[in-house]
Chains A and B, each alone.
Chain A
Amino acid sequence: MIASIIFILLIVAGVTFSTINARKIIRNIGLGKDVNMTDQPSQRWKLMTLVALGQKKMFARPIPAILHIFLYAAFVITQIELIEIFVDGIIGTHRVFRPALGGFYTFMVSFIEILSVLAMIGTIAFLSRRNLLKIPRLVKSELNGWPKLDANFILIAEFVLICFIFMMNGADEVLYSRGMSHATDLGDGSLGLSISSKLGPLLFGGMSDHTLHIIERIGWWGHIILVFGYLNYLPYSKHLHILLAFPNVYFSNLNPKGQFTNLESVTNEVKAMMDPTFTPPPPANPDQPMRFGAKDVTDLSWKQLLNAYSCTECGRCTSVCPANTTGKLLSPRKIMMDTRDRLVEVGENIDKNGGTFVDDGKTLGSYITKEELWACTSCNGCVEACPINIDPLSIIMDMRRFLVMEESSAPTELTGMFTNIENNGAPWQFPPSDRLNWKNE
């Protein structure tokens, strides 16, 4: 009875806090500019199935892809077992579905156990890749501090979670064989779980019933507490991708990667300049000054902000970036991390100031330097490499637009190039009248 009350309180607290956090994230993403990403729904569903659900792009690197599948499959399938944990927890039963489901129950839990073993191999391999093998993209400077801790923390939590599962099932197997389990005794002498029916006796065989009950309960409670802890840790972690990867891929850019947006505000001004009879449409929001490019996160689109929250900092983008691989400061992953950090900061500012943003003297440019922005070759390597179709390049471009069109701050050589195009119609200083000279040379 008391256990049930504690359990229900745990659910209420877990769900309440995670809902508050989820709403904050949705609010923050909503700070971005409106952009329509809902055309071609069938194409989008297909993409989401292949890229998010099917993890198609992960297989560009087969080893991490397979390890990742282990964790992913275990995570998804374990949710089924959670249903039973919820029912047991609320009404105070133990393995409530087993008598009714019979062989199917044994099959499901056994399947979950096998996936859990694979997931354990995955977590150990991932921890080794980060901390022992030091795979270059997993030890870059932008991961120093919190990001590195975050990654390790999640992996360790996953490892512990799997240990809890085997404590719970292993101890219960031993108890069941002694007729001492709280599960309904079907007279079959074993729960028949693929791993725990062997592992349980091996680890816990000699222990007293009392100790086994304690171990079983630690496993059970530990499991569910970690699940709720995880749910509430997600909003602070790069691990949000397990949820956001799906909408993020659904709302992918479906145009060719080379097609950059044409700024409509600029189109209106250019049209007005070239055709005196053209009257530009009134601005959608007359209170806000017109902005060219992105000064801060609120100048980016909601899609770009969703990208930032979806990034799991895997660094595939950075490892293919021509600027980064030749030692330049630019790292596409850092662009995404900085965008998210600044967005979180803006969100906290809004919360602190009763719903409105109060100028804090900072912008996205306080996080991302000009040196980083100007090192980009716009090659789309990062966009291609991202397993969930994040587009760091569009943020770089929007920030360049702000630097050039509002701050008049471009490297001198580029200012020269602009002048040449304006005066000669070519990026070099050749007179336009010479354009066809090659014919006779």
Chain B
Amino acid sequence: MSEALKVPTMADYMATGETPEILFWVGCAGSFDDRAKKITKALVKILNHANVKFAVLGTEESCTGDPAKRAGNEFLFQMQAMTNITVMNEYQVKKIVTACPHCFNTLKNEYPNLGGNYQVVHHTELLQDLLSSGRIKIEGGSFKGKKITFHDPCYLGRANDVYEAPREVMVNLDAELMEMKRSKANGFCCGAGGAQMFKEAEKGDREVNVERAEEALALNPDIIAVGCPFCNTMMTDGVKFFNKEHQVKVLDVAEMIAQAQDL
């Protein structure tokens, strides 16, 4: 079951003269945040299992600049963007997958105008592809009958109109999918976006993630599914706020697919 992860870098591929199908953009959270690293590994397991020829940039990857841009530091954003674009164009990157909707949005929408033109997909879109083309299969699994509600990440949903991919992937789990009152285009933010992740919230009555966790918990789910490392942190903290961390798990869609495949 637990084989060593195969994580080739773009440099490895270049050395052999081959080109990978897709670049896996890991992102800062996926590289450094302990919780998000598990999502990264889950996705790698799936990619390995499905024999997807992918590569990472490894130490050549740098922040997309998203948090700088949303915080108003356009200089820093464009410095980061142009550095990353130089690296990726050097490797002739065509297609990118990322498990972070913020990286996804920035790479997909804000890089082209600076010279970085790539086909960018969110990992739930790639998973949907792999499932529909039969490259991965799920039979039965530990999620059968579990109550799951999906929290739409703002930068995947409203920002890019991707609502169905994560839901269609989870249909394969044979679970009971439930929708929160505010979902899809009306989804309520977890509170992390716009660089809020990196600062204390302004004075108010309560934290945004507490409000959102309360809404999710009202459905009595077994699992709150997420598709963003920052939503993951916020929802996990929100569930803890209500002392429900033993009953309710916060899991990324990729983690569920990996678990369901017993990877």
Q: In this assembly, does B68 line the interface, its C-beta being within 8 Å of a C-beta of chain A?
A: yes
* A323 CB–B CB distance under 8 Å: yes
Segment of A18-26, A38-46, A76-84, A325-333 in the binding face? A325-333
Give the CA-CA distance A118 to B58 in the complex, in Å.
65
Inter-subunit contact B109/A413 (CB<8 Å): no
**Complex contacts, B69 vs chain A, CB 8 Å:** 260
Bound Cα distance from A160 to B65, whole angstroms: 56
Contacts of B205 in A (CB 8 A): 326-327
Q: In the complex, which of the residues B61, B73, B160 contacts A404, with contact meaning CB atoms closer than 8 Å?
A: B73
Q: Contact mask A380-424 → B, CB, 8 Å, 1/0?
A: 110110000000000001001111110000110110111001100
- Contact partner of A435 among B31, B208, B211, B212, CB < 8 A? B31
Q: Inside 8 A of B155's CB, which chain A residues have their CB?
A: 258
Q: Is B206 within 8 A of A425, CB to CB? A: no
Known: A270-B75, A414-B71. A439 touches B5 (CB 8 A): yes
Q: Are B75 and A326 in touch, CB under 8 angstroms?
A: no
List the 5 shortest-distance A-B pairs measured between CB atoms, nearest first. A258-B159, A327-B205, A400-B72, A378-B194, A425-B62
* 11 residue pairs A–B, Cβ–Cβ below 8 Å: A256-B105, A257-B160, A258-B158, A262-B74, A262-B113, A293-B72, A322-B211, A326-B206, A380-B158, A381-B154, A414-B195
Min CB distance B139 to A, Å, is 29
In the complex, what residues of A have CB within 8 A of residue B70's CB? Answer: 260, 378, 397
- Shortest distance in angstroms between A277's beta carbon and chain B's nearest beta carbon? 15
Mark the stretch among B78-86, B90-98, B129-137, B141-149 that contacts chain A.
B78-86
CB–CB B202/A371 < 8 A: yes
Chain B residue numbers with a CB within 8 Å of A293 are: 72, 74
Q: Does B150 contact A (CB under 8 A)?
A: no
Determine if A374 and B73 form an interchain contact, defined as CB atoms under 8 angstroms apart: no
B11 CB, nearest partner CB in chain A, Å: 11
In the bound complex, CA of A271 to CA of B113 (Å): 13
Q: Which residues of chain A are near B127, meaning CB under 8 Å?
A: none
* A434 and B32 form a contact (CB under 8 A): yes
A contact residues around B67 at 8 Å (CB): 417, 421, 427
Interface hub of A262, A384, A405 (most chain B Cβ within 10 A): A262
Most buried by A among B28, B37, B205: B28
Q: Other CB < 8 Å A-B pairs besides A327-B204, A422-B79, 9 of them? A: A256-B159, A262-B74, A274-B79, A320-B188, A326-B204, A326-B211, A328-B201, A383-B158, A438-B37
B80 touches A425 (CB 8 A): yes
B83 contacts across to A, CB distance below 8 A: 274
In the bound complex, residues from chain A placing their C-beta under 8 Å from that of B75 are 266, 269-270, 405
B169 at interface, CB cutoff 8 A: no
Instruction: Return the contact of A411 from the options B154, B199, B203 (Cβ within 8 A).
Output: B199
Partner of A330, one of B79, B188, B198, B202: B202
Specify which chain B residues have a CB less than 8 angstroms from the CB of A263 in the assembled complex.
74, 78
B254 to A: closest C-beta gap in Å? 14
Q: Which of A263, A325, A439 has the most CB of B within 10 A?
A: A439
User: Chain B contacts of A270 at CB under 8 A?
Assistant: 75, 78-79, 82
Docked complex Cα distance between A397 and B105 (Å) = 16
Contact (A379, B154) CB under 8 Å given A262-B110, A271-B82, A371-B202? yes
- Chain B contacts with A in 95-137, Cβ cutoff 8 A: 105, 108-110, 113-114
In the complex formed, the residue of B with least CB distance to A407 is B72
In the complex the two chains form, what is the Cα distance from A374 to B72 in whole Å? 10
Residue B235, interface by CB 8 Å: no
Interface pair A410/B202, CB less than 8 Å apart: no
Partner of B59, one of A256, A262, A375, A433: A433
Taking the closest CB of chain A, its distance from the CB of B9, in whole angstroms, is 7
Bound complex: CA A416 to CA B197 (Å) = 13
Query: A326–B208 contact, CB under 8 A?
Result: yes
Main secondary structure of the interface of A (DSSP, over half): helix
Contact B72 A377 (CB under 8 A): no
Please report the C-alpha to C-alpha distance between residue A380 and residue B184 in the assembled complex, in whole angstroms: 12
Contacts of A432 in B (CB 8 A): 59, 62
Q: How far is the CA of A146 from the CA of B197 in the complex (A)?
A: 37
CA distance A377 to B28 in the complex (A): 19
When the two chains form the complex, which single residue of A330, A381, A405, A427 contacts B74, counting CB atoms closer than 8 Å?
A: A405
In the complex, the chain B residue whose C-beta lies closest to that of A398 is B72
Does A251 sit within 8 A of B, measured CB to CB? no
Is A144's CB within 8 Å of the partner chain B?
Answer: no
State whether the Cβ of A368 lies closer than 8 Å to any Cβ in chain B: no
User: CB within 8 Å of A: which of B185-203?
Assistant: 185-186, 188-189, 191-203
Contact A405 B32 (CB under 8 A): no
| A153: B residues at CB distance < 8 A | none
B114–A267 CB distance below 8 A:
yes
- Interface status of B207 (Cβ within 8 A of chain A): yes
A266 contact set on B, CB distance < 8 A: 74-75, 78
B56 interface hit (Cβ, 8 Å): yes
A262-B114, A426-B31 given as contacts; is B207 within 8 A of A326 (CB)? yes
> B236 on the interface (CB 8 Å rule)?
no
B31 adjacent to A417 (CB under 8 Å): no
At the interface, yes or no: A360 with Cβ under 8 Å from chain B? no
B249 at the interface (CB under 8 A from A): no
Closest CB in chain B relative to A182 CB, distance in Å? 55
Q: Does A259 contact B (CB under 8 A)?
A: yes
- Interfacial chain B residues near A401, Cβ < 8 Å: 72-74
Contact (Cβ within 8 A) B202 A405: no
Instruction: Report the separation of the CA atoms of residues A441 and B44 in the bound assembly, to the nearest whole angstrom.
Output: 14
Is there contact, CB below 8 Å, between A418 and B61? no
Give every chain A residue within 8 A of B30 (Cβ-Cβ). Answer: 438
State whether A384 touches B158 (Cβ < 8 A): yes
CB neighbours of B82 from chain A (8 A) = 270-271, 274
Is there contact, CB below 8 Å, between A380 and B72? no
Residues of B within 8 A of A414 (CB): 71, 195, 198-199
